[in-house]
Amino acid sequence: MPAPRPSSDQVDDLVARAREGQARAVARLISLVEDESPALRQVSSALAPHTGRAHVVGLTGSPGVGKSTSTAALVTALREAGKTVGVLAVDPSSPFSGGALLGDRVRMGEHATDERVYIRSMASRGHLGGLSWATPQALRVLDAAGCDVILVETVGVGQSEVEVAGLADTTLVLLAPGMGDGIQAAKAGILEVGDVFVINKADRDGAQSTRRELRSVIAMADRVEDAWKPPIVLTVATRGEGVAEVVEEIENHRVHLVSGEGLRTRRLARTRREIEAIALASVQQRFAHVSGDARLGDLAAQVLAGESDPFAAADTLVASL
Amino acid sequence: MPAPRPSSDQVDDLVARAREGQARAVARLISLVEDESPALRQVSSALAPHTGRAHVVGLTGSPGVGKSTSTAALVTALREAGKTVGVLAVDPSSPFSGGALLGDRVRMGEHATDERVYIRSMASRGHLGGLSWATPQALRVLDAAGCDVILVETVGVGQSEVEVAGLADTTLVLLAPGMGDGIQAAKAGILEVGDVFVINKADRDGAQSTRRELRSVIAMADRVEDAWKPPIVLTVATRGEGVAEVVEEIENHRVHLVSGEGLRTRRLARTRREIEAIALASVQQRFAHVSGDARLGDLAAQVLAGESDPFAAADTLVASL
């Protein structure tokens, strides 16, 4: 059962308390956006003037490379540097259950009592656009709450790498030695989107050859932005080794983005996609409420009967708006 | 370079030749729909009266369970039963390259010279809705071409299992012994969508325990349609063992669907989604052409500046239609 819809004053109060760093207010606001509460628009409107400051870092990589451990290690390093940190762990692989299988979240336990760390697991609900829907709204909450850095860790596989890159200012791609990651990475398109590459578990055999292989495929990759040469960092996240260097490279990339139009370009593209996804979801909702001859069910029946085709039916549906 | 847009007469001629079973006409039509040719609407309209006969079978499962080999074995068995067969292999994991990494397609070589087998690899282009866009149109081509059965094999992982189920009349879920598939399957939601479960490589250790585990999780799964109890078939696809039984269970499921409202219900839902996806893509195209103050770029700049929020911007965009 969702909680009752908060009043306008209550939303303003929640935003004010979130901006003061009250973790419960942050959590409540994320719940409101994640549950697509009717208050969503109001929350978004109240947050708007207070966003745009946080640096969003996406973490992606195949299962088993140590994403959770790396996230925890990065949080430690960022906290030591005095940063306020937000963590969103998104599991887009579970469209049906609506719940994330995030048993390994317990590894974040050491940070659970730190008031300047906000940790949140989200399941993408199989909504139109998947990640593109609720996650940007949760990012806005953490941004308004004063996070300097927000880590977005995707638990899934497949297209989610690319989606998480679309949300991030800086995208970290994690690999591990000897997992055949070269071909995997090429297949998933993550070479095109990685800003910093991390070879975790670098104490294992094959770390150096993975680095060489990765370096040569990065050199060949058809990267959109050529001015930035993505560094490769070796880490052993379980022991915190190399993690300070990762933080340094994230900062280097941020400075690179800010020194040119890079940050604005990325954020404009991201905001366009966000607006578009919301607009499309709103249109889709209207489709469900079309009446008369242009009802979706009636159109589908006509297509099934061979009396119409899907494109003609779609034209009728759009014309009904 | 796409081929020049065919004339109206040429489209009608292609459809006529495809209906006569000319493989080149079938291939050309699939290219037209896959490339989103301007002739797409016309192709769809010309195909419409000739569709609805083929039984669509979706094949899904984790990498390594033997999907390609099973597909090839099923084609052999269906051909022996005198059926005309279409195969669509869809790779949704490659949004950037636009090309499928389907080296194992060569295993289908034995069927390459069979005139009653149409084989086609498709990459989903990262278009709105992924699989939901081009694949249904390719299915319509194969359907109109007289295929009795169309196998849709998804090469990817993650949500694609669920998407392929949305396209299929009957969904086959492939597993292999000892791959920890129980939890994997539960996570991906494929237990809810599988109509026939196949444990391939059943000559390996653990096939019986995988069957027991699967049976108990199926019994607990929250299935939409309770009247059908999904069977579990053991196969060794490389030797063709058990494949005839799979074909039999597909037929059993088809009869089950036809005996009630099941087939019509599934196809109505599928057609609704298809129409909706086309309509949304059309709306999205219009968004790109909005001018004046409601231009997407301008709206994004306002949101970035904190002067608007994404929901208000989306409202403006939708109102511009």
Asked if the model's pLDDT at residue A181 lies above 90, the reply is: no
What pLDDT, on a 0 to 100 scale, did the predictor assign at position A129?
44
What would you measure as the largest C-alpha separation in chain B, in angstroms? 67
Q: What is the pLDDT of residue A43?
A: 93
As a whole number, mean pLDDT of residues A238-264 equals 95
Of the residues A37, A169, A283, A308, the best mutation for testing chain B's interface (the one with the most B CB atoms within 10 Å of its CB) is A283
| The pLDDT of residue A97 | 28
pLDDT above 90: residue A119:
no
* Three state DSSP letters for chain B: CCCCCCCHHHHHHHHHHHHCCCHHHHHHHHHHHHCCCCCHHHHHHHHHHHCCCCEEEEEECCCCCCHHHHHHHHHHHHHHCCCCEEEEEEECCCCCCCCCCCHHHHHHHHHCCCCCEEEEEEECCCCCCCHHHHHHHHHHHHHHCCCCEEEEEECCCCCHHHHHHHHCCEEEEEECCCCCHHHHHHHHCHHHHCCEEEECCCCCCCHHHHHHHHHHHHHHCCCCCCCCCCCEEECEHHHCECHHHHHHHHHHHHHHHHHCCHHHHHHHHHHHHHHHHHHHHHHHHHHHCCCHHHCHHHHHHHHHCCCCCHHHHHHHHHHCC
**Residue A220: pLDDT above 80?**
no
Average of per-residue pLDDT across A177-191: 62
B260-298 pLDDT, tens per residue? 999 999 999 999 988 998 898 889 889 988 887 789 999
Mean pLDDT computed over A169-185? 76
Domain annotation covers residue B2: yes
Which residue in chain A has the smallest CA separation from B190? A96
Q: Are residues B68 and B32 in the same domain?
A: no
The pLDDT value recorded for residue B104 is 33
| 3-state SS assignment for residue A32 | helix
Q: Which of B50, B70, B90 is the last residue of a domain?
A: B50
Q: Residues A165-187: what's their mean pLDDT?
A: 76
Helical spans, DSSP H, in A58-158: 67-80, 131-144
Closest-CA distance of chain A to residue B57, Å: 18
Residue A307's closest CA among A299, A297, A315? Answer: A299
Residue B191 is predicted with a pLDDT of 73
Residue B114 sits in the same domain as residue B18? no
What's the domain count of chain B?
Answer: 3
Q: Which two tokens stand for residue B285?
A: 């195209």
**What is the share, in percent, of chain A residues with pLDDT greater than 70?**
79
* Whether pLDDT at A144 is above 90: yes
pLDDT of residue A157: 53
Q: How many CB atoms lie within 10 A of CB B214?
A: 21
Does residue A267 belong to any structural domain of this protein? Answer: no
What span, in angstroms and rounded, lies between the C-alpha atoms of A116 and A80? 11
Give yes or no for residue A3 having a pLDDT over 70. Answer: no
Question: Please, which pLDDT band fits residue A193 given cuts at 50, 70 and 90?
Answer: confident
Q: What is the percent of chain A where pLDDT is above 90?
A: 48
The reported pLDDT for the residue numbered B108 is: 52
Single out the residue of B281, B277, B259, B260 nearest to residue B269, CA to CA.
B277
Identify the CATH number of the domain in which residue A222 sits. 3.40.50.300
- Quickly state the pLDDT bin for A184 (edges 50, 70, 90): low
| CA distances (Å), origin B193, targets B78, B163, B218 | 23, 10, 10
Chain A positions touching B299 (Cβ under 8 A) are 272, 275
As a whole number of angstroms, the distance between CA B243 and CA B58 comes to 15
Residue B12 in any domain: the answer is: yes
Tokens of B216: 């108990």
Q: What pLDDT, on the 0 to 100 scale, is given for residue B272?
A: 93
Out of A97, A275, A303, the one facing B271 most closely (by C-beta) is A303
Report the gap between the CA of B213 and the closest CA in chain A (Å).
19
**Which domain does A26 fall in, by range?**
1-50
Answer yes or no: is A268 within a domain. no
Contacts of B300 in chain A (CB under 8 A): 268-269, 271-272, 275
Residues A37 and A132 occupy one common structural domain: no
What count of Cα atoms within 13 Å lies in the side-chain half-sphere of residue B153? 27
Is A153 part of a structural domain of the chain?
Answer: yes
How distant is the Cα of B202 from the closest Cα of chain A, in angstroms?
26
Find, in chain B, the residue whose alpha carbon is nearest to that of A297.
B272
Instruction: Judge if B44 and B64 occupy the same domain.
Output: no
* pLDDT tens for each residue of A90-104: 765 433 322 233 333
Residue B233 counted as domain residue = yes
Does the structure show a pLDDT above 80 at A243?
A: yes
Residue A20 carries which side chain, given as an amino acid letter? E
B130 inside domain: yes
Same domain for B115 and B237, yes or no, is yes
pLDDT beneath 50, residues of chain B: 1, 93-107, 126-130
Which residues have a Cβ under 8 Å from the Cβ of B190 and sit 6 or more positions away? Answer: B60, B61, B161, B162, B165, B173
Residues A167 and A235 in one domain: yes
- Do A218 and A92 lie in one domain? The reply is yes
pLDDT digits (tens, 9 = 90+) for A147-159: 999 999 876 555 5
Contact A309 B48 (CB under 8 A): yes
A18 and A123 assigned to the same domain: no
Does the pLDDT value for residue A141 go beyond 50?
Answer: yes
pLDDT at A57: 97
What confidence score (pLDDT) does residue A154 get? 78
pLDDT tens, position by position, B214-268? 888 787 766 665 689 899 999 999 999 999 999 999 999 999 999 999 999 999 9
- Say yes or no: A35 and A2 in one domain: yes
The pLDDT value given to residue B124: 54
Query: Where among B50, B72, B88 does a domain terminate?
Result: B50
| Inter-chain CB proximity A282 and B314 less than 8 Å | yes
Question: Of A41, A96, A271, which is closest to B311 when you measure between CB atoms?
Answer: A41
Angle (CA) B171-B174-B179 rounded to 5° is 145
pLDDT number for residue B91: 63
Within a domain: B46: yes
Do residue B48 and residue A97 have CB atoms under 8 angstroms apart?
Answer: no
Q: Which residue of B has its CA nearest to A307?
A: B49
Q: Using CA atoms, how far apart are residues A20 and B203, in angstroms rounded to an integer?
A: 62
Residues A7 and A135 occupy one common structural domain: no
> Taking CA atoms, what residue in A is nearest to B280?
A280
**b or e along B157-166 (b: 16 or more beta carbons within 10 Å of the residue's beta carbon)?**
bbbbbbbbbb
Pair A161, A108 in one domain: yes
At residue A135, the pLDDT reads 84
Q: Is the pLDDT of residue A172 over 60?
A: yes
Residues B39 and B57 in one domain: no
Residue B223 has a pLDDT of 63
